[in-house]
């Protein structure tokens, strides 16, 4: 049983640094593109047999230390019956921009609205059979709200920032509803077999520290508490937010997921020793030579050497054009550069 990922989340000793890759199932894999040429993205997410299959695809190729559920951060919005398509990112048919629209949102229980996610996790736990730990995930309320209010992905998410000042109470209620729904969703995932939960906050970085503290932080802290109450590690990935790392750490996740912008030794100094760190190789490094990849991996590892609790990962999702050989080089480099003598782990 490979538990070095779960051990690192808890800052326990490990034989070598565990590694997984954000978006490890996806378009850079020909076998994923093959399935996607036959079924749409939403069908893929909603069909447990297929979702479990694409979750396992990267594990067949690479010696990864964790599997991550295949779904999307927008998947649990089926609980609110919000009409949505993917092209390739989420598109909301009717963006939510008024108090009336927010008041109309009523979440059904996740177990009723998205039973296929629980079924995918149960299937995966059976197939993984203890060999590799399974990560569940959700989006942070602020990041989900950014898509719901804007209607689609857009740098800066001006529509949500504008609403935040025009109608702060409307945004507050929206974030509370999303926070409750995500807490229910992650509880369902844990009950179905998820052994850790990662919360993706891709867009909190558009806020300044005081607005982050007022709006985004309480909504995400509630989900982290729900995960920890169930006794599994919570990973909080804060993208593009070097100015929010201390506040993010103060929500007390077991692991802080760090984007590629801030060197991990800086982060370690700023957040103290009582939290594990995950990351944070720039995904673009994987367009370099194997030698460059190895040097950059060694650099990341060296910045947290001797500090308990590091999970190696990219500093954001892997890009669709990434060469497969680069992923192999990354994994090999982590294996070669992070092994510690057995005596030190016993
Ligand atoms: O990590 C994994 O392998 C698990 C699956 C996963 C997906 N999306 C599948 C997906 C996870 C964890 C996500 C998270 C997600 N989704 C985030 C947070 C991480 C981040 O990137 O910041 C966000 C913001 C989304 C919303 C989303 N979904 C976008 C912006 C896009 C399109 C952009 C892109 O990467 O092309 C999606 C679609 C999506 N989600 C795809 C996959 C594999 C591509 C869909 C396809 O096959 O056409």
Question: Residue 339: which pLDDT band, with cuts at 50, 70 and 90?
Answer: confident
Q: Quick one: which atom of ligand 1 is closest to the CA of 198?
A: 12
Question: Residue 3: which pLDDT band, with cuts at 50, 70 and 90?
Answer: very high
Distances (CA, A) of 244 to 178, 203, 266: 21, 11, 13
Question: Residue 256: which pLDDT band, with cuts at 50, 70 and 90?
Answer: very high
Average of per-residue pLDDT across 181-195 = 98
Q: What is the pLDDT of residue 345?
A: 46
Global confidence as pTM: 0.97
Decide if 155 contacts 87 (C-beta within 8 A). no
Q: Is the pLDDT of residue 343 over 80?
A: no
Q: How many CA atoms lie within 13 A of 220 on its CB side?
A: 36
Lowest mean pLDDT among 89-93, 112-116, 195-199, 340-344: 340-344
Q: Quick one: which atom of ligand 1 is closest to the CA of 139?
A: 18
Decide if 286 contacts 326 (C-beta within 8 A). yes
Average of per-residue pLDDT across 187-199 = 98
37-78 tens-digit pLDDT = 999 999 999 999 999 999 999 999 999 999 999 999 999 999
Could you give the CA distance from residue 158 to residue 154 in angstroms, rounded to a whole number? 8
Give the closest residue (by CA) to ligand 1 atom 7: 72
Distances (CA, A) of 132 to 45, 218, 250: 21, 32, 29
Give percent above pLDDT 70 in the chain.
98
Q: Quick one: which atom of ligand 1 is closest to the CA of 200?
A: 18
Query: Cis ω on the peptide bond leading into residue 88 (within 30° of 0)?
Result: yes
227-253 tens-digit pLDDT = 999 999 999 999 999 999 999 999 999
Q: How many Å lie between the centroid of ligand 1 and the Cα of residue 342?
A: 38
Q: Quick one: which atom of ligand 1 is closest to the CA of 26?
A: 43
- Ligand 1 pocket check: which of 20, 23, 52 to mutate, most ligand atoms within 8 Å of Cβ? 23
Could you give the CA distance from residue 102 to residue 104 in angstroms, rounded to a whole number? 5
Residues with CB under 6 A from ligand 1: 22-27, 36, 41, 68, 70, 72-73, 86, 88-90, 137, 153, 200, 202, 239, 317
Give the closest residue (by CA) to ligand 1 atom 25: 73
Q: How many Å lie between the centroid of ligand 1 and the Cα of residue 65?
A: 20
For residue 58 the two structure tokens come to 């990267």
Q: Is the pLDDT of residue 299 over 50?
A: yes
Question: Residue 172: which pLDDT band, with cuts at 50, 70 and 90?
Answer: very high
- Ligand 1 pocket check: which of 84, 88, 315 to mutate, most ligand atoms within 8 Å of Cβ? 88
The single residue listed with the structure tokens 């985004």 is 216
Q: What is the pLDDT of residue 342?
A: 52
Average of per-residue pLDDT across 3-12 = 98
For residue 83 the two structure tokens come to 């009409």
Average of per-residue pLDDT across 25-46 = 97
Lowest mean pLDDT among 193-202, 291-300, 334-343: 334-343
Average of per-residue pLDDT across 294-310 = 97
Q: Is the pLDDT of residue 1 over 50?
A: yes
């Amino acid at each position: 049983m490979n538990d070095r990922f779960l051990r690192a989340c808890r800052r326990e000793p490990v034989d070598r640094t565990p590694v997984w890759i954000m978006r490890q199932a996806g378009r850079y894999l020909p076998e994923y593109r093959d399935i996607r040429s036959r079924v749409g993205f939403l069908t893929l997410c909603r069909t447990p047999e297929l979702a479990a299959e694409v979750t396992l695809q990267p594990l067949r190729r690479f010696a990864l230390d964790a599997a991550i559920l295949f779904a999307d951060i927008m998947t649990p919005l089926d609980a609110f019956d919000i009409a949505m398509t993917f092209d390739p990112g989420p598109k909301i048919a009717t963006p939510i921009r008024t108090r009336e629209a927010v008041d109309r949102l009523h979440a059904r229980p996740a177990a009723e609205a998205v039973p296929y996610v629980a079924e995918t996790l149960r299937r995966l736990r059976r197939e993984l059979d203890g060999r590799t730990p399974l990560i569940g995930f959700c989006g942070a309320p602020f990041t989900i709200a950014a898509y719901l209010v804007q209607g689609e992905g857009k740098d800066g998410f001006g529509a949500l920032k504008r609403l935040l000042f025009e109608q702060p109470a409307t945004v507050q209620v929206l974030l509370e509803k999303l926070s409750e729904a995500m807490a229910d969703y992650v509880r369902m995932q844990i009950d179905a077999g998820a052994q850790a939960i990662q919360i993706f906050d891709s867009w909190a970085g558009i806020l300044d520290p005081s607005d982050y503290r007022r709006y985004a932080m309480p909504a995400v802290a509630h989900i982290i508490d729900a995960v920890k109450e169930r006794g599994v590690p919570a990973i909080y990935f804060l993208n593009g937010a070097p100015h929010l790392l201390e506040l993010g750490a103060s929500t007390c996740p077991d692991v802080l997921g760090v984007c590629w912008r801030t060197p991990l030794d800086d982060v370690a100094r700023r957040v103290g020793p009582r939290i594990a760190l995950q990351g944070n190789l720039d995904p673009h490094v994987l367009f370099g030579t194997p030698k460059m990849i190895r040097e950059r991996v060694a650099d990341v590892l060296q910045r947290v050497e001797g500090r308990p609790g590091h999970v190696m990962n990219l500093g954001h999702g892997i890009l669709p054009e990434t060469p497969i050989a680069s992923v192999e080089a990354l994994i090999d480099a982590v294996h070669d550069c992070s092994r510690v003598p057995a005596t030190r782990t016993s």
